[in-house]
Structures are given as structure tokens and as C-alpha cells.
Copies of this chain bind each other. A is one copy, B any other.
Amino acid sequence: MLFLLDEKGHLYLVKGDKDLHTKYGIVRREDLKNAKPGDMLKSHLGVKFYLIEPRIIDFLKKCKRGPQAITLKDCALIAAYSGIKSGSKVVDAGTGSGILAMFLANIVYPEKLVTYEIREDFAMIARENFSRFGISNIEIKLKNIYDGIDEKNLDLITLDLPEPWRVIPHAKKALKIGGFLVSYSPSISQVKKFCDSLSGFVYETIECLTRQWNIETMRPYSRMLGHTGFITFARLLER
């Protein structure tokens, strides 16, 4: 697998076994074959392509994702506000296309992250994403997290589910004291029902907006996501 960036920052993912056709011209198979991160190749039009060591953000850009997949900014806050690090024990549900699982697994590595999903079709997409990018520290469980959590002594449980309140009793057994149950919900009604069901936790709910600027013209871009989801951070005090 090769990751190339063109001069505009567009990302290309190729095996290197055939020519890469782009709007900036063709990058030849012969050139790709022996290329490695740090190298620069030129298309037949003379446009430059740069080989990079991929990072999690490059994987996330290139993986298969559903229309409602969680955004990078929300992944960022979930990881940061729960304070996880290499070695942290994390359970995630539902997997979906695996975006959040991949993001968090990248941080807790080499610790294994467990992600629960009941739909085999979603699990398949996620599994494909994980193996395609060589992410080995995720285990997918085809299991309904509403029925219970097998793991214990967890630092973080993340939920992207329609009825997150059904996980609360299980989370209380599975989390460390001081550990986080984080729920991501698009609707504030779901948040309300989740928070009203919490006991033994302290919590806060936030939403995050990011806005990109065009520095050449010195103005923000008018295109912006006005909403993705509300994130509730519930910290376990008492079982």
C-alpha cells in the first residue's frame, strides 16, 4: 500500500501494481514499484506526487464510511476529554464502519480495543477497513452491548447507539471508578434520556463546531457543518 499526496494535499492510496491516473497526469507503475515514504515522483505532466508514511488520519480519509460516520473533531474530543493514552482499556459500540474504533485504537496501541456490533454487514465493512490499513489491535464482537459487557476495569466506553441509556447498568460494572462512559448522539432528546438515566456518574454534554479559514482571501469558508452530534462525558464515581 502506498500513500501519495499531490501538491494540493489530495491523498491517493494505491497498491503500486498499475499506473495511477489523476487529473494532474499519470504516475507510472515503474515509478511506483520501488517508491517508499519520503520519495517524490512526477506524473507524465510533470506534477509532483509525494510518498508519505500514512497516519491514522490518512486511513480515516480513505476508509469506507457510512453517511453518518463520526467526524474527526468529535473523535478528537472523545479521546482528549477522557484522557486516554497508550495502554488504556477501551470498549466501543456500535462499530459502524469502524471510524471511532480505529481512531481510539491508534491511541491505546498496543492495547487491544474491543468494539461491539450486532449487524454483520457493518462488521464486515469495519473488518475490511481494519485489515486494509493493517490495524491489528481491534477485536470486533458480534454482540449486542445492551445485553452486557464482558470486559472489566475499563478506562473508557464509547457509544454511538440509538438507545445509549440501555448500556448504563453494564457500564457501571465494566468501568473503573473514574472511568468514562461517552455517548455520541445526533439528537438532544437522546442526550436527555441518557443523562436522566445516569446515576453514580458526574457528566457534562458538549457540542463542537469547527470552521475552516481561507487564509489567501482572509475569510472563513461558507461551507461548514452546523451539527454532527452531542457528546456526553459521564465519569463513574460509584457503582
Interface of A toward B, CB cutoff 8 Å: 3, 5, 7-9, 37-38, 40, 48, 50-58, 72-73, 75-77, 79-86, 103, 106-107, 109-110, 155, 176-178, 186-189, 191-192, 195-196, 202-213, 215, 217-228, 230, 232, 235, 237-238
Can you identify 12 A-B contacts, CB atoms within 8 angstroms? A53-B178, A55-B84, A76-B81, A79-B79, A85-B86, A86-B86, A191-B213, A195-B215, A196-B215, A206-B213, A222-B225, A224-B224
Contacts of A85 in B (CB 8 A): 56, 86, 106-107, 109
Known interface pairs A178-B52, A189-B218, A208-B210. Does A80 touch B86 (Cβ–Cβ under 8 Å)? Answer: no
Contact check, A56 vs B73: say whether CB atoms are below 8 A apart: no
**Alpha-carbon distance A14/B84, docked complex (angstroms):** 23
Contacts of A110 in B (CB 8 A): 86
Known interface pairs A86-B86, A86-B109, A106-B85. Does A215 touch B226 (Cβ–Cβ under 8 Å)? Answer: no
A73 in complex: contacting residue of B55, B187, B208, CB < 8 Å: B208
Residue of B nearest to A188 (CB): B218
**Alpha-carbon distance A3/B86, docked complex (angstroms):** 21
Contact check, A103 vs B80: say whether CB atoms are below 8 A apart: yes
Known interface pairs A5-B237, A37-B178, A210-B77. Does A219 touch B82 (Cβ–Cβ under 8 Å)? Answer: no
**Alpha-carbon distance A38/B215, docked complex (angstroms):** 42
